[in-house]
A and B are shown apart, each in its own frame.
Chain A
């Protein structure tokens, strides 16, 4: 599998960057020029190339801000929504340098240099598509969802975050453990889910730094005025992130962090234990359930879990990473149709498949496993089962999981 994303200045044809993941060779300059030429040529003839399929892959052109053309090429049977990927890449570009810069594109060399800081984010995005890279601690498995951990401590932590955000004159704060969103301040939901996801990627990209601030543009909310995102490492793999104004200074924030969070160390440690199960212990699963992907559709948050059963994890045939990949592929290819609202709004003019809009359950049977997805209101549950379980049983169990999720008090999104 391989995926390549190329950015070209639409007018001048100057290549801005090219990122790739996978085993293909990097795209040559002349090829980029030809690819761009194809798009420009067809535009001259009042024709726009929406989508091109190749055997086992696709090529996609997409123009943003009337100044930048993104070209995506994916091959090798990788299941991904290329259009969504390009739109995420564009978001990341805006996130780093702002929309105005991108639109004007005055000093391309400068912009190229500025965009280098978003490379780690872009690489994370591409990496998240690669099934071979699943074993690495990833902040995102699915492009359009925020990967989270559900833990009973979230409610308490929310208070702390509110408190902390107030102290630094910010509004939006969140706590990140192992790259997963654990708790948010109460206003955090004001952020567009895609902005929130970029925040998480930012924190992941700045791994190692104890305290750091970065100017960020919020692609939806404030594409032209930069905010200040402050990431702070509390414990190993635990970060808090807050979006605030120019003050207080970083040194002051350092002190505030200490004040606000000192007393929460034990709670955070407890919350940290939820990883890698990512779900409260009070949620129990049948032994035949090999993995779940639970999605909160409104909040665009998802929880992956493959460590559902404490004992007897060893000796099972399927590796954990593979299970995640199955669930992810299942979600991307089939289960996403259960939640039509997750589709890109300004997406493909092909329009949604109205015919399958009324779907309420879907499943796969493969030789080694079965996948089942069911939606109940705002929650979508994709579940991976052993291949021996009967379909009727599967439907019952998934239904039970959905009920548990809605009644369990430890589940706090």
Chain B
């Protein structure tokens, strides 16, 4: 019933072209103009705002009742009130996607069942592992020296967690140790007694009940999943200095920051011998503070007396912990940041420090001003606490979980991790952002003449679950904003939790303006203004908008709190993305492993694996891999129908191929993979991207396939291809045309969109019959963008061998990346002050061949007897024209690959 209603209500908007505008007209409630936004009270004295509200019920709820939620969204949309006057004509194109959504809901929601990216993390760990139940016999009475009820009853002592609510296990009495170990460890949380939630407030009551109860009490312990369970959200919101417990934790892990001013005047005038900032404090317990003399001397000595450059980093051993200390000079000042090597290795430390410097400059204009700004210590404290927590504390947690990759991912450190989206979706996303950026003034107010705009939107970028979807920012701005979002843990938060509302506002100093100060007198100076970064989040979306005050807009004077109007603009932009179902779409897109497809079951590439696969093919439904999407009845039917078609076609190779695709991909995506595969075994991947050859193929072999479908798809693909190859805007022309006529032809576009989304074609970028690609990273360091499979691909794969391959890939990539930097640096700067190694600058490509160890293979069910060595390549190559681009590939050894070709194919997907 619900379903039906839902469908009905969605179908209606697409019927008439004016529906959307009507509905927003309806929702134009001018009386709400006076309403105060809910974040208003959180605006700080300096005008900065951090407002975060996460959904208390996690995604599980909305996964179980996806349709209900849809209804809510719909209601929400209808009731959406804009407090500022605005008549929106937004979403002409959206309407299309929106209309389509109604048909797509079933798919979208069902895909959700298989795991929204964000929730994957928690779901990976089976719940029974997270909670451990121990029954303590009532007859046992433990002797407690402290005469403590808990010790007497359960034989363990508890303490309250840093949040003063949760109870954690502090110690076991000797007699009781046998009951608990090894299942329970110190630091686990006591979550329930006899099924009742317990915390420090109600523990006494519950104990009383236990005493009265005759049954043996059952204790439920929770494994601390987030390791040290630092609440990022709270850390982000807090305006005060971080709590002592956290500071202590960071001190323990030997993270440290120190900013020293080395010129004589300030050195002598300062009480702390030139130390302007130090965290964690107190000073005398900070090892960096205690040993600063060594770093300062070295920083001084190296360029002056040794003729080398300033030191970039030192690795030191302190208390048996290896620590990486990084140096950043700022005129005569020195910023030192230390990370424990275990969590942040040397490679990561070097990357992270550039991000930290970027972030500080972005937030405060320069390094010096960040540390000399009055009353800024608390802010800096919590900033660095967040940085360290994001980098270290939470990576510790993932290590405790088991075999997950330790430390920071190669992908995360280098640039903004972005995903390739189908062109149609990308257009939608870009369109939404562009509309926000255009901020079409006329539509907002009738009083155009008397209103000056508050801000010009310089650009914005949109993230979903920590992946960059689109950026309309200058490269440098993107890098800085990405550093801001990442190091503050905002991306992490948006990945792990579903945000109900996030609004952050603060003044920033954009790169362009900072750099300009250095060489004044430039004719094309950008105006002296002020810049603000507005970050708005909803669900797993994060939208960061960079705005300028001054110039053609009103000058911002004094403390500038966020303008509710602009916040709403951003919110409504996200709202819009929600309305068209992009959240659902992306959730399934992230799970679809399609652009390009990576092989997540690497054991299938062995002879033995092929056998397993063939066996599995006989019962395809039962062996769907976890990464694939569950099919709806309708789809299954469709697929069956289609595969029977395929067989009808009777191509000699189709049998094998359809089997492959069935078992391997098992999703409706295979629908098209199949038809591609037919009779196109070898040149498959190279042809895949080109619509023409595919067409010729489908003409040849799929002649029986219903003409309509082929045409719809083909038309669309052809069009796309034409656009790609000729650069003409035919796609746009058509859209524009339909817009202008405003009547017909929408059906066609709708259909094409539908096709695109229902049947995501799994693209391959490697050569060969089988998909031998395990992982790839394409890095455009100048742009600050990196394309790779989604972050949880490893989780989706859920495969020991795959995890091993990825782990190897990441560590090998670090090596390759470092080597390729020689060439990039050389190309960038032909006469470097420091001579580079002549040989290394010429290296363009570096590859390593690895062999998977036998024990890993046997864990994957490949028996030791009949294994040829399992070999895979990790190869990196730099393309220096027009700007440096690095491509890293990980693929099975069986098919040699040409990286130039792969890069070419990959570029088609973008």
Contact = CB atoms under 8 A, between A and B. Distances in A.
Contacts of B249: none
Interface in B298-332: 298, 301-302, 305-319, 322
Contacts of B322: 50, 349-350
B853 interface: yes
Contact of A79 (B305, B307, B837): B837
A133 interface: no
Interface in A318-371: 325-326, 329-330, 333-334, 337, 349-350, 353, 355-356, 358-369
Contact of B852 (A41, A50, A131, A358): A358
A366 B312 contact: no
A233 B838 CA distance: 38
Given A54-B311, A355-B812, A359-B850, A38 B294 contact: yes
B849 A333 contact: no
A49 interface: yes
A18 to B, nearest CB: 12
Nearest to B306: A73
A363 B847 contact: yes
B311 A59 contact: yes
A193 to B, nearest CB: 26
A353 B844 contact: no
A329 B808 contact: no
A38 B293 CA distance: 8
A71 to B, nearest CB: 10
A38 B302 CA distance: 12
Contacts of A359: 812, 848-851
Interface string B840-878: 101111111111110000000000000000010000010
B241 to A, nearest CB: 26
Nearest to A353: B811
A53 interface: yes
B849 A360 contact: yes
A59 B298 contact: yes
B843 A365 contact: yes
B744 interface: no
Nearest to A73: B306
Interface string B260-292: 000000000000000000000000000100110
Of B290, B810, B877, most buried by chain A (CB within 10 Å of CB) is: B290
Interface residues of B, number: 57
A392 interface: yes
B740 interface: no
A148 to B, nearest CB: 24
A31 interface: yes
Contacts of A79: 837, 840
Interface residues of A, number: 62
Contacts of B837: 77-79, 329
Given A41-B293, A75-B308, A131 B838 contact: yes
B309 A45 contact: no
A378 interface: no
A334 B819 contact: yes
A367 B842 CA distance: 6
B438 interface: no
Nearest to A368: B842
B513 interface: no
Given A31-B301, A34-B297, A56-B834, A50 B848 contact: no
Q: Is the interface of A mostly helix, strand, loop or mixed?
A: mixed
A333 B318 contact: no
Interface in B814-850: 815, 819, 822, 834-840, 842-850
B294 A366 contact: no
B275 to A, nearest CB: 16
Nearest to A391: B896
B739 interface: no
B390 interface: no
Interface in A197-235: none
Contacts of A325: 839
A409 B629 CA distance: 60
Given A34-B305, A329-B840, A392-B896, A358 B316 contact: no
Nearest to B313: A53
B839 A59 contact: no
Contacts of B834: 55-57, 75-77
Contacts, number: 185
Given A51-B314, A77-B836, A349-B317, A34 B301 contact: yes
B482 interface: no
Contacts of B848: 334, 337, 356, 359, 361-362
B306 A31 contact: yes
Contacts of A265: none
Interface stretch (A20-28, A172-180, A247-255, A273-281): A20-28
Nearest to B298: A38
B842 A366 contact: yes
B811 A355 contact: yes
Contacts of B815: 334, 337, 356
A364 B846 contact: yes
Contacts of A366: 839, 842-844
Contacts of A38: 293-294, 297-298, 301
A301 B297 CA distance: 42
Given A56-B836, A349-B322, A73 B305 contact: no
B316 A356 contact: no
Contact of A41 (B291, B808, B871): B291
B341 to A, nearest CB: 7
Contacts of B341: 350
Contacts of A46: 318-319
Interface string A181-197: 00000000000000000
Given A349-B322, A356-B812, A56 B835 contact: yes
A363 B845 CA distance: 8
Nearest to B849: A361
Contacts of A78: 837
Nearest to B836: A77
B807 interface: yes
A337 B819 CA distance: 14
A394 B893 CA distance: 15
A338 B418 CA distance: 34
Given A75-B834, A353-B811, A358-B808, A47 B297 contact: no
A49 B316 contact: yes
A403 interface: no
Contacts of B843: 364-366
B204 to A, nearest CB: 45
B846 A51 contact: no
A358 B811 contact: no
A37 interface: yes
A358 B850 contact: yes
Of B297, B836, B850, most buried by chain A (CB within 10 Å of CB) is: B850
B846 A363 contact: yes
Contacts of B812: 355-356, 359
B318 A55 contact: no
Of B306, B837, B848, most buried by chain A (CB within 10 Å of CB) is: B306
A42 interface: yes
Contacts of A50: 314-317, 322
A294 B783 CA distance: 42
A360 B850 contact: yes
A107 interface: no
4 smallest CB-CB distances across A and B, nearest first, come from A355-B811, A55-B309, A77-B837, A361-B849
Interface of B: 287, 290-291, 293-294, 297-298, 301-302, 305-319, 322, 341, 346, 807-808, 810-812, 815, 819, 822, 834-840, 842-853, 871, 877, 896
22 contacts: A1-B835, A31-B306, A38-B298, A41-B291, A41-B297, A48-B317, A48-B318, A52-B311, A52-B315, A53-B311, A53-B346, A54-B308, A54-B311, A56-B309, A75-B308, A77-B840, A325-B839, A334-B848, A337-B815, A355-B812, A365-B844, A366-B843
Given A34-B305, A362-B847, 7 more contacts: A28-B305, A38-B297, A50-B317, A53-B311, A75-B308, A365-B877, A368-B842
